[in-house]
Amino acid sequence: MNGVIEAPTIEYGALAPLLLVFGAAVLGVLVEAFAPRYLRRAIHMPLTLLSLLGAFALVIVTVVKGDLAETAAAMGAVAIDGPALFIWGVVLILSAVCVLMINDEGHFVASAAAVPGSSEEEEAEAAGSEHTEIYPLVLFAVGGMMLFPASNDLLTMFVALEVMSLPLYLLCGLARRRRLLSQEASMKYFLLGAFSSAFFLYGAAMIYGFAGTVSLTGISKALGTSGLLDPLLMIGLALLGVGLLFKIGAAPFQAWKPDVYQGAPTPITALMASGTLVAAVGAVLRVFWVGLGNLDWNWRPVMWAVAALTMIIGSVLAITQTDIKRMLAYSSIAHAGFLLIGVMATYDKAGQNSGSLSAILFYLLVYSLTTVGAFAVVTLVRDPGGEAWHLSRWAGLGKRSPVLAGVFAFFLLAFAGIPLTSGFFGKYAVFTAALGSGMESGDSLGGWMTGLVVLGVVASAVAAFFYVRVIVLMFFSEPAADGPTIAVPSMGTVAVITVALLVTVGVGLFPQPVLDLANQAASGLFIR
Amino acid sequence: MTAHYLVLSGLLFAIGALGVLIRRNAIVVFMCVELMLNACNLAFVTFARQHGNLEGQIIAFFVMVVAAAEVVVGLAIIVTIFRTRRSASVDDANLLKY
């Protein structure tokens, strides 16, 4: 308040990947404004893909150079540390892969403003137009996904949350087929998302009232000096938790996930199911480990209940689903529960936390790539009216198209965590970290953590049941006479499925290089 | 001194949250969300006064910008739904379930 405002120092070099993605997004908007319609796609696709790959290259360069800053960049707003760089890398790979899928014809609406079934819509479709705003919107969402887990204060985190979510709300409503479902998904996601981010913000306000700052470092310091049972702090903790847990789709805030995943265009579902989950888990870790780490005796019991409930709801309700996308959504809820087990696996000595952190990072990488692959397969199985979502339509797919069904079966086995797939090592790493942290404390916590891991294993077994049920349906039942057609996959979709399959098989057979990478990223923990 | 403002902010937030839960019109639901954001702003500004630093006031500006962006996106979605269904009721949009 002394009236002198000093210019902030911004570490442009360290922030370059983020700036590149946002810069390309802004350029994309300009392309939308000035380029003629027939050229837009041809400009957008290379621009989007090159910026994502360029940002990935910049992340690699930063990692190889290896001299990470000890303090957060941009005046303490953005923490670019090992975990953040790892998550950036994962998000950029995922989004580049999803963009290949998004680029396929026929996923997005010809004219979003035309009422479904109207003559305007027919005209727009006859003219062959398709919204190209998709590309800059995806880039903005990806930029938000990168900033969200790297933000080191609650304001940056809130802005990142919105930058990530707002484009996704719109993208959800742009499916070409079944537009009513798509629009409904968009509205539900928007209203619930806005509701939950208001909770996040009020939580941030309460914590600001407690600590006098919103920087996670400052909050952590304030926790060290004052009483831990301040009502403002407790309210803030609860409300922040609601906002963050909504984003990862943990129970009891999971209701939006099946609806939105079903209604959204499948490439966008793939982006949300992978990128948003990765980013949100990163943000949860940063808030609960860096900002509120000293408070773990307060949030662990609640997190325990949330993790348990999430796993149970995810795996039990998935059994009853008859729609492939909804089933994958419930499976994603169950996996969010497994990840929360990892979030709880904190140790008293900070140095040991890196084991849990690397387990979570590894899990995020393998799970998200398998998810993208699974949704890519879903885009290929088609009925005359669009993708064939109903599970009964998938009966006998193994006889009709053994390769596609085999690949999908493999992804499902990876979700279930069968050995020799990447999913097995992900679950194993997270469960081991949780057991270790329970043992270390040597008191009642040990029993609770063991109980949670046992629950996790049981939930995995229940989940395995419905994954295997789909496999049985595909391979051991007769295909219907008027069964779905298998679309000839474009180069992009082939590339997506190949990458996902290679990672799932490769990491399943040789997990060590990726584990090493995750260990290295986690070794320095989060900077403060 | 500042306690009254905090109580007011808490009340506004509660009214907003209750409105989201019980109102049926998507536009009204959305307005209730905006009310919640305004309650946040009031809390931020009050705490800024209490702590004697400017951080909370600056945050309030950011929140206004974000809220404005949210209005653009939200109204676009709600208007599209209204044109399709001739209704903005959140109860009518019920195709996605189970």
Q: Which residues are A4's β-sheet partners?
A: none
Helix (H) or strand (E) holding A383: strand A381-383
pLDDT band at B28 (very low <50, low <70, confident <90, very high): very high
Q: Is A506 exposed, middle or buried (0-12, 13-18, 19+ CB in 10 A)?
A: middle
Pick the closest to residue A488 from A106, A220, A153 (CA basis). Answer: A106
Rounded to whole angstroms, the Cα distance separating A175 from A268 reads 9
Cβ partners under 8 Å of residue A489, min gap 6: A380, A497
Q: What is the mean pLDDT of residues A408-423?
A: 91
* Per-residue DSSP letter, A387: E
What is the chain B residue with the closest CA to A115?
B84
Domain assignment present for B95:
no
Please check the confidence at residue A1 and state whether its pLDDT lies above 60. Answer: no
Q: Hey, of A202, A246, A326, A391, which one would you mutate to test binding to chain B, going by the most B CBs within 10 A of its CB?
A: A202
Per the DSSP assignment, residues forming a β-bridge with A383 are A386
Report how far residue A336's alpha carbon sits from residue A42's, in angstroms, rounded to the nearest whole number: 37
Query: In total, how many domains does chain A have?
Result: 1
* Nearest chain A alpha carbon to B3: A209
Chosen for mutation from A137, A179, A183, A323 (greatest number of chain B CBs closer than 10 Å) is A183
Cα–Cα distances in Å, from A424 out to A321, A362, A406, A415? 24, 11, 18, 8
> For chain A, what percent of residues have pLDDT higher than 90?
62
Alpha-carbon span B42 to B45, nearest angstrom: 5
Q: How many CA atoms lie within 13 A of B27 on its CB side?
A: 8
Assigned domain for A5 exists? no
> A419 CB near a chain B CB, below 8 Å?
no
Query: Residues A503-521: what's their mean pLDDT?
Result: 91
Residues of B in contact with A169 (CB under 8 A): 73-74, 77
Q: Which residues contact A258 (CB under 8 A, 6 or more apart)?
A: A321, A326, A329, A330, B96
Tell whether A512 is covered by a domain.
yes
In Å, how far is B33's CA from the nearest CA of chain A? Answer: 6
- Are A194 and B70 an interchain contact pair (Cβ–Cβ within 8 Å)? yes
Taking only the tens place, the pLDDT of each residue in A419-465 is 888 999 999 999 998 888 877 766 677 788 889 999 999 999 999 99
Give the SS3 label for residue A5.
coil
Instruction: State the pLDDT confidence band at A348, using cuts at 50, 70 and 90.
Output: low
Burial A362-394 (b: 16+ CB within 10 A, else e): bbbbbbbbbbbbbbbbbbbbbeeeebbbebebb
Answer whether A213 sits within 8 Å of B55, measured CB to CB.
yes
A158, B63: Cβ pair inside 8 Å? yes
pLDDT class of A266 with cuts at 50, 70, 90: very high
Question: In chain A, what percentage of residues exceed pLDDT 70?
Answer: 98
Cα separation, B92 vs B76, whole angstroms: 18
More confident residue, A8 or A98: A98
Residue A328 in tokens:
């994958």
Among A123-132, A201-210, B4-13, B19-28, where is mean pLDDT lowest?
A: A123-132
Q: Is residue A2 part of a domain?
A: no
List Cα–Cα distances, A212 to A80, A229, A312, A332, B9, in angstroms: 24, 16, 39, 37, 18
What's the domain range around B77?
3-85
Q: Is the pLDDT of residue A4 over 90?
A: no
pLDDT > 70? residue A389: yes
Contact A208 B56 (CB under 8 A): yes
Flag if A183 and B73 touch (Cβ within 8 Å).
no
* Residues A205/A239, Cβ–Cβ less than 8 Å: no
Give yes or no for residue A128 having a pLDDT over 80: no
For every residue of A204-241, DSSP letters joined together read HHHHHHHHS--BHHHHHHHHHHS-TT-HHHHHHHHHHH
Residue B52 domain-assigned? yes
A64 touches chain B (CB under 8 A): no
Number of domains chain B is built from: 1
In a domain, A528, yes or no: no
Residue A190 near chain B (CB below 8 Å): yes
Q: Do B73 and A166 touch (CB under 8 A)?
A: yes
Nearest CA in chain B to A318: B98
> Does residue B22 fall inside a structural domain?
yes
Q: Which SS3 state, helix, strand or coil, does residue A172 take?
A: helix
**Mean pLDDT, chain A, as a whole number?**
90
Give a yes or no: residue B97 inside a domain: no
The tens digit of pLDDT for each residue in A229-246 reads 788 999 999 999 999 999
Give the residue from chain A lying closest to B33, CA to CA: A195
pLDDT digits (tens, 9 = 90+) for A152-185: 999 999 999 999 999 999 999 999 888 899 999 9
Kindly indicate the confidence band of residue A310, based on its pLDDT and cuts at 50, 70 and 90: very high
SS3 call for A486? strand
A259 contacts on B by Cβ (under 8 Å):
96-97
Q: What pLDDT, on a 0 to 100 scale, did the predictor assign at position A2?
A: 59
Angle at CA of residue A420, ends A458 and A447, nearest 5°:
30
Chain A residues near residue B6 by CB distance under 8 angstroms: 209
Q: Would the pTM count as exceeding 0.90? A: yes
- Output the pLDDT for position A524: 79
Q: Which domain holds residue A87?
A: 12-523
Identify whether A1 is part of a domain: no
E strand spans, A408-478: none
- Decide if A469 touches B, using CB distance below 8 A: no
ipTM of the complex as predicted: 0.97
Does residue A40 contact residue A132 with C-beta atoms inside 8 Å? yes
